[in-house]
Amino acid sequence: MAYDDLSGFLSELQDDGDLVRIAVSVDRDLEIAEITDRICKLPDGGPAMVFENVKGSSIPIVTNLLGSEQRMIKALRARSFDEAAGRILAMIKPDVPENWLEALNLVPRFAQLSKLPPKTVTTAICQQVVKIGTDVDLNELPIPRCWPDEPGPSITLGQLYTQHPTSRIRNVGLYPLQVMGRGSLAVHWSVQDEAWSNFDEYRTQQQQMPIAIALGGDPLLNFVASAPWPANTDDCLLAGCLREKNVELVKCRSHDLEVPAEAEIVIEGYIDTSAPLISAGIIGSPIGFYGPTEQLPAINVTAVTHRSNPIFPAMIYGRPPMEDYWMHKASERLFLPIVKLFVPEIIDYHMPRSGAFRHLLFASFKKSYSGQSRKVMHALWGLDWLFATKIIVVVDQDVLVQDEEQVWFHVGANVHPGRDTVFCEGPTHMLDHAAPTRGMGQKMGIDATRKLPEEGHPRAWPDEVLMTTEIKELVSRRWSDYGFGENLVL
């Protein structure tokens, strides 16, 4: 069953010894970020942390909530990423497309097949305390400042709820929200985000855009908000399918948007789409660099509601690995069955943390004909959630792409640069500061597969040096007989 709220998840983590409660006084200004950064860099992602004594606030802060494979799988209520991926695949079975034309019709079916739609309730624990209008003061919340050059604090783990003004389809995303005053936030969207499309439509229709920001609730909602679901799907409906329980929603107090009833804190507001964009300062980004100074929409906060004893969740963005690495890793695993529907020859793919889950992708596939490597590259670039990937490396089906050293070994061995590299122009990630024009530049594909004669390789391709299975099994059985000791096990 799903977690009802954040407290239930934290209690289970504490029982498992996967939560550290820090009782000493800590500063939300940089100190919490530095502690969290060090813990996130541990090989297993480190434990979740609750800072119980935050200077200047009675509200504790939790960080690194989903910052390990174990906790991410726990939030998914699964035994593995593969099990959770099976739930995604079950949403579209038995209507698995037989060809590319049927695959194009997958998205609307994807949004219709869940049997667990959101459930609206009239009262909610997230509205035990209500502050509206002039009573609102964002400075009362323990919003951290994470990096030295940031001009002020930012909300980093707020599920931002918007809806299309005409279709009323709900969209939920994770976007940094920079505090600009006691009742104002700058939302760090880009034109590539679906929420920006909603904003643009409100602007076209000359309407104010309602906004709601939910902090806390079932931790799975943070993952759902971060994942690259197909456009025009209801994120809360998808969350219901993944958690195998309806998401309970409650109407906001100052407008008609709905938010998770079990959230810790909810910030309500609107964007005046007729107002000019505001200049927001730089903030740390998930690629490990500061983002640029931007002109962004301003959210005018109309209400803040919360539990009587809330916990403030925060995520520190920075050089990987950080908490978001594990959320993206879950997306990679859960979306593999869908990738295979569109690119059926794909065996596996991996987005290494060294590429910040944006710049670099390794893919193995079953090669059957010449030129297929390029077909696979362009097919991956054609998927909505991979279109901005800077570098794609494709390898043969027997290469384990989760083993990065193995991939680079085959790149070094199999690539002839003048023949096996592909360059193309197209949209790039908005955080890619190497692109000469923001959001537009070059991408590269590297073909590290074995080459066929039809691909311009006239020489015989050598076999890789590999031992026979029989000898490998023999040595494994007799390993202890060789006297290497228990500490030398291969």
141-183 pLDDT tens trace: 999 999 999 999 999 999 999 999 999 999 999 999 999 999 9
**87-96 per-position pLDDT tens digit:** 877 776 545 5
Q: What is the mean pLDDT of the chain?
A: 93
Out of 3.30.1340.10, 3.40.1670.10, 3.30.2130.10, 3.20.20.140, the CATH code matching 323-455 is 3.40.1670.10
pLDDT greater at residue 263 or residue 95: 263
For range 23-35, the mean pLDDT: 98
How far is 258 from 345, CA to CA, in rounded Å? 41
Residue type, position 55, single letter? K
For the record, the structure tokens of 402 come out as: 């989760």
Q: Decide if domain 6-313 falls under CATH 3.40.1160.10.
A: no
pTM of the model: 0.91
How far is 199 from 440, CA to CA, in rounded Å? 22
Task: Report yes or no: 384 and 438 within 8 Å, Cβ to Cβ.
Answer: no
Identify each DSSP E strand in 207-331 by its residue range: 209-215, 248-251, 258-260, 265-271, 278-280, 294-296, 298-306, 312-313
3-class DSSP assignment, residue 309: coil
Please check the confidence at residue 391 and state whether its pLDDT lies above 60. Answer: yes
Task: Report yes or no: 412 and 448 within 8 Å, Cβ to Cβ.
Answer: no
Is the link from the previous residue into 219 a cis peptide, with omega within 30 of 0? no
For range 462-481, the mean pLDDT: 93
Least confident of 80-84, 99-103, 168-172: 99-103
Residues sharing a CB contact under 8 Å with residue 345, sequence separation 6 or more, in sequence order = 365, 366, 367, 368, 372, 376
How far is 419 from 430, CA to CA, in rounded Å? 30
Is the link from the previous residue into 321 a cis peptide, with omega within 30 of 0? yes
Domain boundaries, the chain: 6-313, 323-455
Task: Report yes or no: 321 and 353 within 8 Å, Cβ to Cβ.
Answer: yes
Residue type, position 2, single letter? A
6-313 and 323-455: identical CATH topology: no
Cα–Cα distances (Å) from 189 to 175, 177, 201, 280, 323, in that order, read: 7, 9, 15, 12, 20
**331-349 per-position pLDDT tens digit:** 999 999 989 989 999 999 9
465, β-bridge pairs: none
How far is 162 from 213, CA to CA, in rounded Å? 9
For range 462-482, the mean pLDDT: 93
How far is 145 from 26, CA to CA, in rounded Å? 13
> Which pLDDT score, from 0 to 100, does residue 66 have?
98
